[in-house]
Amino acid sequence: MNKRGRLIIISAPSGTGKTTVIHRFLVKNPNMIHSVSCTTRPKRPNEIDGKDYHFISLTTFKEGITGNQFAEWAHVHDHYYGTPKESLDAWLREGKEVLLDVDVLGGTNLKKLYKDQAVSIFLLPPNNEELQRRFFNRGTDSEEQKEIRMKNALKELTYKDQYDYQVVNDVLEKACSDIEEILDAHARRL
């Protein structure tokens, strides 16, 4: 009998350090597949198409919605984001472990769709003051954009109880080891 595949869904409000945690986690777990989402937002200078996101046109994205090609999709921060369904289903059939980095709406929708084939983890900031400090020290957003992102982050924090587990990202290595412990315990129960 083949090993069952599993989706590992990680969501967090902007500014929580999710990208840093996921990159570090993937370095320690090189056999895990990192599902790359599609987006209609413009590529940033340091991003690589196919590695950070699949950057696609609005027309292509809407065709994907109509064709039921996304396991989940959302309109966030004036752009569309979505997870290609075909590759997720293939990886699960092959018994692969797949890490997904998605927003809170995508995370909750994926958990509903894949149920016990998914484990969902919500990454938390140490506290709201630290979250605000991180936003204002980023240097990549305008003051107005920082305020919008902070407001959105506080709203996204209300989703934390809809996730299977919560991990505080106060110390990077601890957050990564907490995620590994959760996944090990979860795998033993399957």
Instruction: Report pLDDT digits (tens) over 30-42.
Output: 999 999 999 999 9
User: Could you give all domains of the chain from N- to C-terminal order, each with its CATH number?
Assistant: 6-189 (3.40.50.300)
Amino acid occupying residue 103 = D
Cα(106)–Cα(91) distance, rounded to whole angstroms? 18
Nearest to 79 by CA among 98, 99, 53, 100: 53
With a pLDDT cut of 70, the percent of the chain lying above it is: 96
pTM summary value: 0.89
Instruction: Report pLDDT digits (tens) over 51-89.
Output: 989 999 999 999 999 999 999 999 877 899 999 999 999
Cα(88)–Cα(101) distance, rounded to whole angstroms? 13
Instruction: Report pLDDT digits (tens) over 106-162.
Output: 999 999 999 999 999 999 999 888 888 877 776 666 778 778 888 888 999 999 999
Check residue 140 and give its pLDDT.
65
Residue 175 — left, alpha, or beta (φ > 0 → left; ψ -120 to 50 → alpha)?
A: alpha
3-state SS class at 116: helix
3-state SS class at 147: helix
Strand partners, 84: 70
Statement: residue 100 has pLDDT above 90: yes
How far is the first Cα of the chain from the last one, in angstroms, to the nearest whole number? 14
Check residue 184 and give its pLDDT.
93
